[in-house]
Structure 1
Amino acid sequence: MLVKDFDFYLPQEQIAQDPLEDRSSSKLLLLDKETGKLKHEIFKNITQYLKPGDCLVLNNTKVIPARLYGEKEDTGAQIEVLLLKRKENDIWECLVKPGKKMKVGARVSFGEGLLKGEVVDIVEEGNRLIRFSYEGIFEEILDRLGQMPLPPYITHKLKDKNRYQTVYAKYDGSAAAPTAGLHFTKELLEEVRRMGVEIAEVTLHVGLGTFRPVKVEDVLDHHMHSEFYQIDQEAADIINNTKKKGGRVICVGTTSCRTIESAAKDGQLSAKSGWTDIFIYPGYQFKILDCLITNFHLPQSTLLMLVSALAGREHVLAAYEEAVKEQYRFFSFGDAMFITDNIENLDKKL
C-alpha cells in the first residue's frame, strides 16, 4: 500500500485560514461508508442524521498555548520552542527552531526572564528535552507568554484563542486541537442530548506526530508517535451500553476514534489510560466505532488513511473530489464530513 495512493488535488485557496463566525454554520458532507453516496448539508443540521440511542464520543482535551518565542541567553539569538509532551513536572519534550543552536546545556529566556529553559537532552528526530524554571504557576505563565500552535498551513493570526478550542475542552495537554469538535456549539450539543443521544467524553492529548508528513513510500513502514489518552469508567459504560442496545458509536474526530480503538478488546471498551501509537489504515477492522465526524485532511496523511479505513479509499477520494468541486473549506478551520451508514434510510426519517 503506497502513500502516494492517498493523494488528491487541492487548490491553495480552499485551505481555510480563519474560523467561521458561527461554528455550526460550516458545510457538512455526508458520506455513506458502504455505498459511497454523498449528500450536502449544513453542520447545524447534523441532528437530522442522528438517532435516539446513538452515542457521540468527544475528546475533551484542551490545547495549551504551546508556542513560545525567546532569546538564547548567551547570544541573544531568536529561538522558537513548541511544547510537545510533558515528561516530568517541569521537563518537556519540545520542537526547537533553529535546533542546531540549542545543544545540551543551552539556555533560553522567555518574556524577559519570566520563564527560563535549559536543554537537558536531545531525543528522537532532534527534539529537545527542556527543563523550565519560573516563579508562580506554569500554566498561568504559559497563558501569558505562549501562542496557540496553529498548523503551518494557517498563515493568518488567530484573533481569539478560544476559536482553536472546542466548547467542551477541559484538560490541558494538546499541541493541536481535535478540530472536528470545533463545529459544535453548546446549544447544538444540548439539542443532541435532548433528542436522546448519549455523550461520552474521553481524553487524548494531541501531539504533532499525528500531523507530521509521512516520509516513507510504503504505508506499512510508517510509525506513529505516541500520545497520552484516558477513558474513565463512566465513558466506557456509556459506550458499552450503546453497543449492547444496538446504537451507533459516533466519534467526533480521529483522535476520539484512536482513543477508543486503542482501549477496545473483544468488542468491549475498558476504562484505562496510557500511551497509544495506534496507526489505522485500510484493512483495519474497527472494534467499537461505527461512524465518524471529521474534517477534511491533508493529502497523503495518516488521517486520510484512517478515514479510508472506515469508508474505503475510493469512496473517500471521490468525496474529496466532490468537496473540492463544491468549494468546501479544508483542514483545521474548514468544513466537516460525516462518514455514516444508510443515508437513504436516514433520509426517510426526515
Structure 2
Amino acid sequence: MGSGRSDDVTRVTQVGMNRNPVTDDIGVNQSADLSRCYPRGQPGSDRTPDNHKISKSGHHGSTFLEERDSMQKKRKQIVVLPLDAVDLDKEIAAVMKNQILTVTKFMKVGFLGRWEPEIEAALSYIIWKLSVEKNHTTFGMQLLGTRFAGQPNRQRLVMLAVLTIGSRYFKHRWPDISRQWKLGPQAQRAVDWIETTVLILQFLNLLLFLHQGRYPTLTSRLLGLHVEPVRVTRRVGYSFMVRELLWHSFSEILNLALPLINTITIRRWFNWLRRNRGTSGRYQQPIVNPVFTTTTRCAVCNEPPIQPQCIGCTHVFCYYCVQANVLADPQFECPLCGFCSDGTVRNVPL
C-alpha cells in the first residue's frame, strides 16, 4: 500500500512539472467553448479551435471593411449629389429659356432682349412653384434622389425663392436702375463690394460643404436648409425600353412610307376643297400674259420675282419657284387663284 501511494505521488509530480499553465488553460477554455457551441455527436464538433477562431476573426474583419467602404461611398454621394442637383436646376431653366427663344425667334428683333430679366424671373418662379413649393425639393434634387432635411416651413421656402430669384433679377436690372435713377459712382462701388463679398462667402461655403456635406449653396446655409439623400427602392421596369423600341419601329416605318406618298397631290386636293370651287382649275382657259410692275410679287415666296415666269393666270412667279413646283407636280395650281397649269411655263415680258 505504501509503495502504491508513493508511485501515484511521483506520477502527479511529473505531470505537474511538465504542464504549461498558459497553453493548457487556453486549450481547456477553447475546448469548453467549443463543447458548448458544438455538443458531442452534432455536426461541426470535429472542427479545431484554431480554425474556428481564425474564421470568426476573419468574418468580423470583412464586415468592418464593408461597413467602412459603405460609409465612405455614402459620404461621397452626400457631397457630390447636391452639387449635381444645383447644376441640373440651372440646366432645366436654360432648356426652358431656349424653348421660349425658339418659339419667338420670328418675332420682332430685340423684343425678348428688352424683357429677358423678367422672362428669366418668371421661368424661375414657375419652376419654384411646381417643385419646391409643391414637393419641398427642386427638380434636380428629385432626379438625383435628394431633398431638404425635415419639413421646411413655407416661410423659409419663400425666402429661398426671394433670395435666389430676386438677386439674379437685381443683378441683371442694376445697370438700368442706376441709369434711370442717375445714381453716382458710390452706389456702383457699394454694389460691386456686395457682389465681391457674396462671391467670397460662396467660395467659403463650398469649402465647408465639401468638408461637412450639408449646405450646397450659401442661400441654403443662411436659411438652414441642408440636404439629405432619400432612400428610394428602385424597381426595374421595362416600360421605357418597350416604348423606345415601339417608337423606333414606328419611325422606321414612317421613313419607309413617307417618301412613297405624293404629298403635293394631297395638298392640291385639300386646297381645292378649301376653296370649294365648282369646277377644277384645269378647265380654265389661259388668259393674256400678266403685267409686270415694280410692285409685283411672286405668288409663292412673296418676294420680287427673279426671272419672272407665268403659268397662264394673272400672277407672276420666280423662275426657281415655279419650275420646282411644276417639276414636282405637273398640275401645279396657283396658290392665289387656284389656276391649274398644264406643265407649260412662259416668260413674262418686262
TM-score, structure 1 as length reference: 0.18
- 1 or 2, which has the higher helix percentage? 2
- 1 or 2, which has the higher strand percentage? 1
Larger Rg: 2
